[in-house]
Amino acid sequence: MSRFLAVEDSLVRMQRDLDRATSEDPKKVKWGMVIDLAKCIGCHACTIACVAENKLPPGVVYRPVLENEKGTYPAVARKFVPRPCLQCQNPPCTKVCPVTATYKNEAGVVVVNYKRCIGCRYCLVACPYSARTSDFGDWYTEGVTEADEVVYGKNAAAESYEADPATEYGKKWPKRGKGSPIGNARKCHFCLHRLAVNMLPACVTTCIGRATIFGNRNDPESLVFEMIASARAYQLKEELGTQPAVYYLA
């Protein structure tokens, strides 16, 4: 390697880590994520990639990027904090669910069973990170005027794209407006449907600064394991004892 290209792209290494993880005994895999705040430039590409990948409706967001500004001009500092679901290993949201619709799966990812959720939103209230949103059944095409043969009109747009559901959790969901996940709690699930086919989560592959690192945190050879061990690593609201599987690098 030349002195100008000292290391391989972290995506390549993460893909290799992923290949290794998916070929292992699933019981040994615990997914984790590390977000390097020094590398995040606040482009919101991860947010948009997530919205597109999961076809999130208006008002539902899995991975917003928070902008924190400190100080007053001219002594001002700014940082960007992407906030997916932190996949707590001691999750406050699952304990409060009255019908076991949300739970931590074998790989340590907190999931929602859309067919069980009664939509009480107790989990939304219990989450210390506001990482859950409820699907109130809003449409992007609501209020859009119909203009057949002039522009791609409301009905056509809704029919061709918006009503067609994403394959979250690797399942085929009914057309939008015909039941769940409308009325349900929704959240980031580390793109489990992509992991199932050996693809990294959408937010990871779209991060232009390579600020998001993903992999099996039980694998000592993985990049994510290496980063979690960094002295810069910390967890959000650590004092609450929720033990997030998403770490930040200061």
Positions touching other proteins (CB under 8 A) are 47, 58-61, 64-68, 81, 83, 92, 95-101, 116-122, 124-130, 132-138, 180, 182-185, 236-237, 240
Burial of 213 (0-12, 13-18, 19+ CB in 10 A): buried
> Which one, of 99, 95, 114, 78, lies nearest residue 187 by Cα?
114
What's the min distance (Å) between Cβ of 81 and other proteins? 7
What's the min distance (Å) between Cβ of 164 and other proteins? 20
What's the min distance (Å) between Cβ of 33 and other proteins? 17
**Is 29 or 123 the residue whose CB approaches other proteins more closely?**
123
Distance CA 11, CA 28 (A): 22
**Is 129 or 190 the residue whose CB approaches other proteins more closely?**
129
What's the min distance (Å) between Cβ of 70 and other proteins? 10
What's the min distance (Å) between Cβ of 100 and other proteins? 4
Burial of 67 (0-12, 13-18, 19+ CB in 10 A): exposed
Residue type, 71: G
**Is 90 or 155 the residue whose CB approaches other proteins more closely?**
90
Do residues 67 and 78 touch, judged by C-beta distance below 8 A? yes
> For residue 125, what is the enclosing H or E element?
helix 122-126
**Is 99 or 208 the residue whose CB approaches other proteins more closely?**
99
> Which one, of 128, 125, 132, 130, lies nearest residue 111 by Cα?
132
**Is 127 or 223 the residue whose CB approaches other proteins more closely?**
127
What's the min distance (Å) between Cβ of 137 and other proteins? 4
**Is 74 or 98 the residue whose CB approaches other proteins more closely?**
98
Q: Which two tokens stand for residue 202?
A: 């959408």
